[in-house]
Chain A
Amino acid sequence: MKVKQLSVFLENREGRLMEVTKILGKSGVNMSAYFVADTSEFGILRVIVSDPEKAFNVLREAGFTVRLSDVVCLSCPNHPGALSLALEILAREEIFIEYMYAFSSGESANVILRPTDVDRCIDVLQKNQMELVSASELYKF
């Protein structure tokens, strides 16, 4: 149930975000999630795309520093307290989350989790009957 996330290193320079999206668009790669982590010196763009390998290659060719990493996509009902329940389980099991971001669409919300231990995180969530989104489903968005 691992999902591939594409990360792109970005200097704080004008136009870099635009360039990434332009390259992906031209290559016919669709994005279903898009998140920028920024610091005062640099930024990291994290995207979930329809074709991670292709996106990785085209960006690399264009001179970007890119990385593919495994993340987990949790689907939780779009109502109050749902995310909290999932996070409680992870906290109880001592699963450390490096970062996460979420996006909701209609009845449910997708939460991208980047745990230190991806396999154990999947295991724990599944044992607790939490719904995970598979890569193939997610890339279709």
Chain B
Amino acid sequence: MIWNEPIECASRSEIEAIQSERLVETVKRVYHNVPSYRKKMQEKGLVPDDIKSVADLSKLPFTVKKDLRDNYPFGLFACPMSEIVRLHASSGTTGKPTVVGYTRKDLNTWAEVVSRALSMAGVRKSDFVQVAYGYGLFTGGLGIHYGTENLGASVIPISGGNTHKQIQLMQDFGSTVLACTPSYALYLAEVMEEMNVKPQDLKLRIGIFGAEPWSENMRKEIERKLGIKAIDIFGLSEVIGPGVACECEYQEGLHINEDHFIPEIVDPVTLEPLPRGSVGELVFTTVTKEGIPLIRYRTRDLTRLNYEKCQCGRTLVRMEKCTGRSDDMLIIRGVNVFPSQIESVLFEMAETAPHYLLIVEREGTLDTLTLMVEVQEQFFSDEVKKLQDLRKKITAKIHSVLGVSVDVRLVEPKTIERTAGKAQRVIDKRKI
């Protein structure tokens, strides 16, 4: 079923006409309502009238995550605060979270794009959708929740965790759709095995998985273990949350809801737009958002776009499953981790040198972090207890900043490789 056929199956010229009209309006709004955008445009010698259609998109300045932080909390909002009806925020792992605000219309848009996404995945009114994404400031839970309600299916708002109960309710309520991170889906499958619950004991048929990178192999494993079709959903809170793009039943790329979010692919170094079909950094311009519209927002995700019509009948452009990131951000169990955060923690602690090595591995289905830290000579103690206390202190501090647990290993000074250029701080051994 196609949720919004006129849009999802529109011709390229129809889509571009909608995008152009909305882009012009958005640029006017941010120019007049958001000082930071106005300043950036003025620096480029641009006025709103210079933007007449999507063809002019590349004239506009980029927006990056730092802009959201610099304007924390509400500096990039383009409407009066009285119009904002909901706030969400990123995990705020580098100190200040990035905050996004939604007007009533934004929430309707969000529900609309999630309904489209769920329909693409094959979810119908008769389905029971178990939402095991976290509910709260994170956009995952509430985003899928309202999209499901809007579609007319039944929501089971269980949120994340509580694995035994998840499996219990799946059996008792007959959940047909599971929405969570792919790693949690695999974990659920493992616990099911332990509980001797078989896929045929459940009515699950579809999984809506996102918020972290996952491979085709992982997809196959989830599909086999849970006996479902595993669908990749994409989104980022800055743009709106889940529902920016989603796979259809053919699983050949994620359809972007481009009447709301215009995608571009640029060279991550030169920032020049790349020819169609090239792999580069994905950039979004939101053209219907009122709360916090974003102009040419750099996602740091690397992918390519496919404008061919899909077998499902949709013409919405498709993005390939993300193949990597243009910066060093790691996604560990759904949490964004920047190696620079670890550096700042170590800098704050006198006992350790800011030289470290972060090793990321995947044990079974869970990502694990091992942090090798050098002990400063003057803090070396002849007592085991003191060194173990130091280790605990580092572990606790990193956990409070990153939001994920790390296994801290104290190593001898100067044993972590130094380089004159960009140091390799991360060894990612995960096979995604």
Q: What is A's interface to B at a CB cutoff of 8 Å?
A: 5, 7, 9-11, 37, 39, 41-42, 44, 46, 60, 63-67, 69, 98-99, 114
Distance from A33 Cβ to chain B, minimum over Cβ atoms (Å): 13
**Cross-chain contact of A11 among B380, B382, B415 (Cβ < 8 A):** B415
Residues of B within 8 A of A10 (CB): 412
Q: Are A67 and B382 in contact (CB-based, < 8 A)? A: yes
B413, CB-defined interface residue at 8 Å:
yes
Whether the Cβ atoms of B377 and A65 lie closer than 8 Å is yes
Chain A residues, CB < 8 A from B410: 9, 11, 41-42
Tell me if B382 and A114 are in contact (CB < 8 A).
yes
Task: Give how many B residues have a beta carbon under 8 Å from the other chain's beta carbons.
Answer: 18
Given A41-B409, A42-B410, A65 contacting B375 (CB threshold 8 A): yes
B420 interfacial contact with A, CB 8 Å: no
Residues of chain A lying within 8 A (CB to CB) of residue B385:
98
Q: CB-CB < 8 A to A44: which residues of B?
A: 382-384, 387
Contacts of B375 in A (CB 8 A): 9, 65
Task: Indicate if the CB atoms of B412 and A7 lie closer than 8 Å.
Answer: no
Closest to B388 in A: A39
Number of inter-chain CB pairs below 8 Å: 53
A63 near B414 with CB under 8 A, answer yes
Cα–Cα, bound, A41→B375 (Å): 13
Q: Which of A7, A63, A69, A114 is within 8 Å of B413, CB to CB?
A: A63
Contacts A10-B412, A41-B409, A63-B414; A98 near B383 (Cβ below 8 A): yes
Query: Are the C-beta atoms of A42 and B387 separated by less than 8 Å?
Result: yes
CB-defined contacts of A64 to chain B, threshold 8 Å = 412
Between A and B, 18 residue pairs with Cβ closer than 8 Å are A5-B382, A7-B381, A9-B375, A9-B380, A9-B387, A11-B410, A11-B411, A41-B391, A42-B387, A42-B409, A46-B382, A60-B377, A65-B377, A65-B380, A66-B380, A67-B381, A67-B382, A99-B384
CB distance from A92 to the nearest CB of B (A): 24
* A124 → B minimal CB distance (Å): 21
Taking A42-B387, A44-B384 as known contacts, 9 extra A-B pairs with beta carbons closer than 8 A to each other, sorted by chain A number, are: A9-B380, A9-B410, A9-B412, A44-B382, A60-B377, A63-B412, A63-B414, A66-B380, A67-B380
Shortest Cβ gap from B392 to chain A (Å): 11
> How far does the Cβ of B50 sit from chain A's closest Cβ, in whole Å?
60
A-B pairs with lowest CB-CB distance, top 7: A7-B382, A65-B380, A69-B382, A11-B411, A65-B377, A9-B380, A37-B384
- A66 vs B391: C-alpha distance in the bound complex, in angstroms? 18
Q: Which residues of B contact A98 (CB under 8 A)?
A: 383, 385
Of all chain A residues, the one with the shortest Cβ separation from B382 is: A7
Counting chain A CB atoms within 10 Å of each CB, the highest count among B380, B388, B413, B415 belongs to B380
Residues from chain A with Cβ under 8 Å of B380 in the complex: 7, 9, 65-67
Shortest C-beta distance, A3 to chain B (Å), equals 13
- Report how far A69 CA is from B411 CA in the complex, Å: 21
